[in-house]
Amino acid sequence: MQAEQKIVAQLVKKFAFLQERIFVQRQKRIFTLPLVKEEFEQVLPYLHAELGFAKASLVVGTDDGDDLGFIYILSNREGIILALKEKTPKSDPRIKTVTDLFPALALHERELVNLFGAVVEGLPGDSSFPLPDGWPEGSYPMRKDWNPQYFDQETMTYNPPSQEVEKEGGNE
Amino acid sequence: MKPKKGNNRIVIPIGPQHPSLKEPGCFRITLEGEKVVHAEIDIGYNHRGLEKACESRNYIQTLYLIERVCGICSHTHSTAFCQGIEELAGLSIPPRAAYIRVIVSELERLHSHLLWLGVAGHEIGFDTLFMYSWRDREKVLDVLAEVCGNRVNYGINTIGGVRRDLDESMQQNIAKVIAFLEDQLKYYLDLALTDPTLSARLAGIGKLSREDALKYGAVGPVARAAGIMEDIRIIEPYAAYIEVPVKPVTDTRADVLGRTVVRIQEMLESLEIIGYCLKNLPGGELTVKAPRRIPAGEVISRTEAPRGENIHFIRANGTDILDRVRVRAPTEANWHGMKHMLEGEYLADVPITIAAIDPCYSCADRAIVINSERKTEMMDWQGLREYSIDWYKKRGLDLSAVKMPERKIYI
């Protein structure tokens, strides 16, 4: 685990805010705690340019209550995987695209837009992936409060109970 | 077809129905004469919310859903998921289970690559190769059915080990199949390396250089055919691969011919691996007891699927239902280089170029098929046939008059 410890030490030396927020989980696995947008945007280019983490396999979106989480899974030529986490409040879920450094993550970022309602600044194109065209706007199925039982496949509308109650009240 | 004003460019949409393979995906190809100058890829037609469905089911139910991410390489997904959960729960599976996982995994690689070889032959009009290769694939599927009870979606993995043992007769049948395949595969390799028609049709097509393969994150045979030695069985051994020797297979052609040669050589290597496992199969238990509730934590589990690196990210929250699972199937990684491969090609080479990454749309979109039967039972082939006749009869279609020959293993 020497190589992993060395990477962690190098990162902590460069970015003081990573102190106690980055750890070796096991051999070939390094995890960080969630970083805010400004911190994340400093660490990612450094990992890419200086530490050889040139391959990005995927971005995992997570719903963490008041925040949206994004876990960027990067690896270097030695096969060490670093899971770099970013978080942003759901009230303003803005992140910056990383496709300039990692073009392979374009589809993954599009998925964050579609399924989690993230706003990915600078992401090229505007096609819908992976949800079909005509999916109701503002309906993000991978958020924890989205319940498939309120989705009507026929009309492609999402009708959670609070809206149904209001509708019934209006009819009376 | 939509001609654009002011130039000779024509846009041809290929798909979403059956774009070279019988799966949905759409490729908008812009042509100048016969040359592809621009390609757009539109996938997602198979997305049915598998990951969301997993967030409301327990770990065992999720395992069966995860296995259905892909029909061809289902075992690799269930292996990645199980070993992720086992890591979180601190379980180590019995050695015999680890060997059985590897045997099934390599049989799966054989049938997947043989399927691909047939499809590739079909795409270039070489249907004899398609028929030979699919005939050979049937033998692999036969032993898989005998070992696991099913041709695909084997259901052999469980959290903590495997559900079925390999008895003497199964081991003998596997040995017979690998002995038969060795000769066949050597013949296909010779064909790929020496046949002028194959090489004229495949060499120089769908180029993805080593640099581009790294840039676009290509995995599996696509990356290895560009000279990148990346094989999870070697760089991060799991299950019995920790003990079983695996020789790396790479090529430097970086084209469709290179991918063909790599896949055939990988199949020969799979035969070696299976042979080693059969010879050194340890005795003992098949499972260790797994807890119903999995301790909170996060894990990144990797396996080498037939199409390349398969990654599962799992977050457990201490209950019997997981918090998040994200499946990154290999095809999802290989799409990114596809646009690059297509641009500059001739239109006639588009189907084989698409087919050459061995795309699996279900994997990339993570499809779902649910059967919520709660009963657990083993069915033999006759029982399965009676069940299907009954199933159709309830829906107004009586197939009981259809006569079927007695089924026997084709070895």
Kindly report, residue by residue over B169-204, the tens digit of the pLDDT.
Answer: 999 999 999 999 999 999 999 999 999 988 889 999
pLDDT > 90 fraction of chain B, expressed in percent and rounded: 63
Residue B327 token pair: 């499946």
Q: How far apart are CA B33 and CA B40, in angstroms?
A: 18
- Shortest alpha-carbon distance between residue B19 and chain A (Å): 18
Q: What is the DSSP string of B166-221?
A: --HHHHHHHHHHHHHHHHHHHHHHHHHHH-HHHHHHHTTSS---HHHHHHTT--HH
What pLDDT band is residue B371 in, cutting at 50, 70 and 90?
very low
Cβ within 8 Å, pair A107-B52: no
CB A29 within 8 A of CB B84: no
CATH code for the domain of B128: 1.10.645.10
Q: Specify whether the CB–CB gap between B265 and B120 falls below 8 A.
A: no
Every domain of chain A and the residues it spans:
2-130, 136-172
Say yes or no to pLDDT of A167 above 90.
no
Residue ranges in B14-69 assigned as alpha helix (H): 50-54, 59-67
Share of chain A above pLDDT 90, in %: 72
Question: Is A130 within 8 Å of B335 when comparing Cβ atoms?
Answer: no
Test B217 with A71 for CB contact under 8 angstroms: no
Taking CA B51 as the corner, what is the angle to CA A70 and CA B223, rounded to the nearest 5 degrees?
Answer: 70
Structure tokens at B241: 């691969």
Lowest-confidence segment of A41-45, A74-78, A162-166, B100-104 by average pLDDT: A162-166
Question: For residue range A36-68, what is the model confidence (pLDDT) as tens digits?
Answer: 999 999 999 999 999 999 999 999 999 999 999
How far away is chain A from the Cα of B50, in angstroms, using its nearest Cα? 10
3-class SS at A38?
Answer: helix
The answer, yes or no, to whether residue A164 has pLDDT greater than 80, is: no
Give the model confidence (pLDDT) of B51-109 as tens digits: 999 999 999 999 999 999 888 889 999 999 999 999 999 999 999 999 999 999 999 99
Lowest mean pLDDT segment, chosen from A90-94, B275-279, B404-408: B404-408
pLDDT tops 90 at residue B356 = no
Q: Is residue B105 part of a domain?
A: yes
Mean pLDDT, range A85-111, rounded to an integer = 93
Does residue A124 or residue A76 have the better pLDDT?
Answer: A76
Position of tokens 């690998």? Answer: B178
Asked, for residue B191, whether it belongs to a domain, the answer is: yes
Q: Is pLDDT above 70 for B4?
A: no
Residue with more model confidence, A76 or B411: A76
pLDDT at B302 over 50: yes
Long-range CB contacts (< 8 A, 24+ apart) of A15-20?
Answer: A15/A39, A15/A42, A15/A43, A15/A46, A18/A43
Residue B28 forms part of a structural domain: no
Q: How many domains does chain B have?
A: 1
Grade residue A170 by pLDDT with cuts at 50, 70 and 90: very low
Interface test with B, best of A57, A115, A145 (most B CBs within 10 A): A57
Give the separation between CA A73 and CA A57, rounded to whole angstroms.
Answer: 6
> Measured between alpha carbons, how far is B355 from B123 in angstroms, rounded to an integer?
8
The alpha carbon of residue B70 is apart from the nearest alpha carbon of chain A, in Å, by: 17
Cβ contact A142–B328 (<8 Å): no
Closest B-chain CA to A27 = B236
Distance from CA of B191 to the nearest CA of A (A): 34
Q: Is the model's pLDDT at B361 over the cut of 70? A: no
Which positions in chain A have a beta carbon within 8 angstroms of at least one beta carbon in chain B?
A: 25, 28-29, 31, 54-58, 60-62, 71, 73, 79, 81, 83, 102-104, 106-107, 127-132, 141-142, 144, 146, 148
Nearest by CB to A55, which of B47, B217, B300?
Answer: B217
> ∠ CA B280-B282-B286 to the nearest 5 degrees?
140
Which two three-digit tokens encode residue B178? 């690998």
Q: Å from B285 to nearest chain A CA?
A: 27
Token output for B38: 């621009």
A58 CB neighbours in chain B (<8 A) are 311, 313, 326, 328, 332
CATH hierarchy code of domain A2-130 = 3.30.460.80
Decide if pLDDT at A163 tops 90: no
Q: Which residues of A touch B216 (CB under 8 A)?
A: 103-104
Of residues A30, A31, A45, the one with CA closest to residue A96:
A45
B95 burial level (CB within 10 Å; 0-12, 13-18, 19+): middle
Q: Give residues with Cβ within 8 angstroms of B386, minimum separation 6.
A: none
Is B332 within 8 Å of A107 when comparing Cβ atoms?
yes
In a domain, B190, yes or no: yes
pLDDT given for residue B364 in this prediction: 58
User: What integer is the mean pLDDT of B288-297?
Assistant: 95
Contact residues of B toward A, CB < 8 A: 42-44, 47, 49, 51-53, 55, 214-217, 235-236, 298, 300, 309, 311, 313, 315, 323-324, 326, 328, 332-333, 335-336, 365
pLDDT over 80 at A144, yes or no: yes
* Domain annotation covers residue B295: yes
Stretch B221-237: mean pLDDT, rounded?
94
CB contact under 8 A, B217 and A57: yes
| Radius of gyration over every alpha carbon of chain A, rounded to an integer in angstroms | 19
Q: Report how far residue B233's alpha carbon sits from residue B34's, in angstroms, rounded to the nearest whole number.
A: 41
Rg over alpha carbons for chain B, rounded to the nearest Å, is 22
In a domain, B5, yes or no: no
Q: How far is B89 from B77, CA to CA, in rounded Å?
A: 18
> What pLDDT was estimated at residue B340?
86
pLDDT digits (tens, 9 = 90+) for B106-156: 999 999 999 999 999 998 999 999 999 999 999 999 999 999 988 888 999
Q: What is the mean pLDDT of chain A?
A: 90
Please list every residue in chain A whose beta carbon sits closer than 8 Å to the beta carbon of residue B65. Answer: none
Angle between helices B95-123 and B168-194 (to 10 degrees): 40
CA–CA gap between residue A118 and residue B343 (Å, rounded): 31
Q: Is residue B343 part of a domain?
A: no
Residues of A in contact with B333 (CB under 8 A): 57, 104
Cβ-defined contact of B44 to A128 (cutoff 8 Å): yes
Which secondary-structure segment (H or E) carries B309? strand B308-316
For the cut 80, the answer to whether the pLDDT of residue B405 exceeds it is: no
Check residues B409 and B348 and name the one with the higher pLDDT: B348
Mean pLDDT of A17-26: 95
Q: Write the ipTM.
A: 0.92
